[in-house]
Structure formats: C-alpha cells, structure tokens
C-alpha cells in the first residue's frame, strides 16, 4: 500500500530511495469497512490520510441529526480536515469510509518531523493539497444553480467511479436531494 503513496508522489517529483523508506515507515495502514469513522466532527484533526483504495467522504452532522456529505475522496487523494489539521482548532466536519477502503494514516506530529527530515515534502504535499482544493471548488461550483437531474448527470460525468461505489443516500446528501428523489431521477435517465 505504501507503494501507492510513493508512486503518487513520484508523479510530481522524484523521491530518492532513502526518502521513500522514511515516508513509508511514517504511515500506518488502515483497513476500513463502509461506515467506519476516521475522524469525528467537534474534535481537532490530528491525522492526514492517503486513500489507496476506496472512497472516503467528508460529512457534517446537521442540527436535526442528519449526515450531509460535503465531498468524496478516492484513490490517490490526501484527506484531512485541513483547517483543523493546520490550525489545531475543532472541526465541523468528519471523515467516514463511504465504502470499504484501504488508507494510509500519518499523525500531524509525525508529519511535521518528516517535513524536517525531508524538507521538499512539505512543499510537495502542500502543492498537491492546494490543487485538490481547487478541484473540489471547481466540481462543487458546477452544481450551483442546476436542477437535481442536471446535478446528478454532472455527478455521473465528473465522478462516475464514485457513483458506482457509494450508497445512494450518500450521493443524495452530497447533491442536496432526498434518496427517493435521486432514485426517481436514476430511473428516468436510464
């Protein structure tokens, strides 16, 4: 699994063998089942995750007790609650496995020590994270002002692999519609 992380990092920059060993030894493997929670809202996020296989979702619990999906993250993506992780403040969001997943985890303190040992790694991960945030904004903005059917069609175009792997209830909450409405939409466009 750590090979997936190294291979991904090497898409952006060559990583020498001794650095690869430091990086892989700093991460721990997590085998998750659908619904497993990696991080609970209201806490300070002290871990960063790298998705090797599966889908994670960023979610928020509403006042009426519903869970609303804000975003999905899949293979070759880093996942954390960035503001909480960077600034050590409680987060409104949580992180949960949207399907069975294999992820790598690194604690904030361990990552900071790793940055001291491998100075270019911070810039590399920050750059990847910044691009991911821009992609997230672009994807979410595409849904603005669209009706539910158009939103779902866009979702199928932009994130087709996620659409087949996560529960319909998670997709519906992500799009801001009920699972029943989404079920009707899915039937009407087949």
Strand order in the sheet with 67-73: 37-39, 93-97, 56-61, 67-73
In a domain? residue 26:
yes
Q: How many distinct structural domains can be found in the chain?
A: 1
Average pLDDT, the chain: 94
DSSP states of 99-124? SSEEEEEEEHHHHHHHHHHSHHHHHH
In a domain? residue 170:
no
In a domain? residue 169:
no
In a domain? residue 66:
yes
Decide: residue 9, CB within 10 A, 0-12 exposed, 13-18 middle, 19+ buried.
Answer: buried
pLDDT above 80 (res 115): yes
In a domain? residue 151:
no
What is the per-residue pLDDT across 58-97, written as a single tens digit (0 to 9) for each?
Answer: 999 988 888 999 999 999 999 999 999 999 999 999 999 9
In a domain? residue 103:
yes
Banded model confidence at residue 102, pLDDT cuts 50, 70, 90: very high
In a domain? residue 158:
no
Q: What is the span of the domain harbouring residue 109?
A: 2-139
In a domain? residue 45:
yes
What's the average model confidence in pLDDT over 164-171?
Answer: 94
Tokens of 145: 């002002």
pLDDT above 80 (res 108): yes
CATH code of the domain containing 45: 2.60.120.10
pLDDT above 90 (res 172): yes
Distant-in-sequence, close-in-space partners of 25: CB < 8 Å, separation ≥ 6: none
Instruction: Of 32, 18, 15, give the one whose Cα is nearest residue 125.
Output: 15
pLDDT of amino acid 189:
86
Banded model confidence at residue 22, pLDDT cuts 50, 70, 90: very high
Distant-in-sequence, close-in-space partners of 112: CB < 8 Å, separation ≥ 6: none
pLDDT of amino acid 2:
78
Banded model confidence at residue 165, pLDDT cuts 50, 70, 90: very high
């Amino acid at each position: 699994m750590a090979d997936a992380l190294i291979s991904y990092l090497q898409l952006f920059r060559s990583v020498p063998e001794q650095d690869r060993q430091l990086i892989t030894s700093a991460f721990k493997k997590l085998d998750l089942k659908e619904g497993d929670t990696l991080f609970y809202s209201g806490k300070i996020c002290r871990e960063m995750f790298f998705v090797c296989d599966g889908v994670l979702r960023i979610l928020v619990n509403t006042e009426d007790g519903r869970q609303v999906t804000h975003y999905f993250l899949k293979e070759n993506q880093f996942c954390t609650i960035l503001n909480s992780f960077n600034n050590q403040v409680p987060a409104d969001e949580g992180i949960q496995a949207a399907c069975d997943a294999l992820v790598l985890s690194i604690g904030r303190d361990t990552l900071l020590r790793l940055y001291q040992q491998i100075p270019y790694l911070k810039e590399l991960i920050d750059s990847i994270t910044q691009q991911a945030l821009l992609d997230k904004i672009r994807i979410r903005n595409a849904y603005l002002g669209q009706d539910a059917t158009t939103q779902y069609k866009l979702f199928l175009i932009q994130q087709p692999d996620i659409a087949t792997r996560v529960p319909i209830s998670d997709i519906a909450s992500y799009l801001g519609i009920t699972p029943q409405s989404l079920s009707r939409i899915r039937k009407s466009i087949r």
